[in-house]
Homo-oligomer: A and B are copies of this chain.
Amino acid sequence: MMQAVQRPLILVTNDDGVYARGIRALADMVKPYGDVLVVAPRDAHSGMSHAITVKTPLTLKKIHHEEGLTIYKSNGTPVDCVKLALNILVDRKPAVCVSGINHGSNSSVSVHYSGTLGAAREAAFYGIPSIGFSLMSYDAEADFTDSVAAFKPIFEHVLANGLDTNCYLNVNAPYQVPIQGVKFCRQTAGHWNEAFYERQDPRGETYYWLTGHLQNQEPEADDTCEHALAHGYVSVVPCVIDVTHFGVLRDLQSKLSSR
């Protein structure tokens, strides 16, 4: 008797929460390629980075099941969701993990703040080829049609070829412009220029509310993610898990190794 061929298991998560439009678009995108397991935060977790929940218990609740698609929600962070999926739910190793589609850009140093990318990085720790997808629109009702069309071949490439085990992909798409194609780029040097709203609460105590915008530190460079996005391209930045700065390491070793 021939054994039934198992379809690839595809893990889907995000940081905008399980009910966000972006994760539905992503689940729809990958559904033709395998069995889809969605495990995502109950509520929005923007800016949660690679945070994990250590001091409170986690919930995990199945909210939908149909042939080829099962959806869970949790009170945890995006990274918690990946850990719960891999430790509690899966019967086999996911062939790929996709996170997003984030409502808002995660280009440049936003890779460090993003819960979307935190989840992708976490899955990569387990040797699962992983991609974080983001759209440059914070609109909860954003239209994901064009970005999905551009993301699909990137997903297909990773599903077919895997990724280096020290790597995950940070993929961003421009919004409401004709997409010119896909560019593989390096991370733009930048930082967030913050402004804090300073106000008084009803009892007269001062509070601060964070806002700001990304400051591109190398606007002239033409090989960065910011440049690609500004010119209508989808940007793909392959990112490392091992963050050792080998240049500085050699330098410190040669100068200070006598210590």
Contacts and interface: CB of A to CB of B under 8 A. Distances in A.
A19 interface: no
B184 A247 contact: no
Interface string A193-234: 011101101000111111000000000000000000000000
A136 interface: no
Interface in A111-142: 111-113, 118, 121, 125-126
Given A164-B245, A244-B238, A210 B53 contact: yes
Given A153-B259, A243-B187, A54 B58 contact: no
Contacts of A44: 55
Contacts of A47: 51-54
How often does this chain occur in the complex, in copies?
2
Q: Main secondary structure on chain A at its contact with chain B?
A: mixed
Nearest to A252: B184
Nearest to A250: B184
Query: Which 6 pairs between the two chains have the least Cβ-Cβ distance?
Result: A238-B248, A57-B207, A49-B50, A49-B49, A125-B191, A238-B245
Interface of A: 44, 46-55, 57-60, 79-80, 83-84, 87-88, 109, 111-113, 118, 121, 125-126, 153, 157, 163-164, 166-167, 181-182, 184-187, 189, 191-192, 194-196, 198-199, 201, 205-210, 236-249, 252-253, 256-257, 259
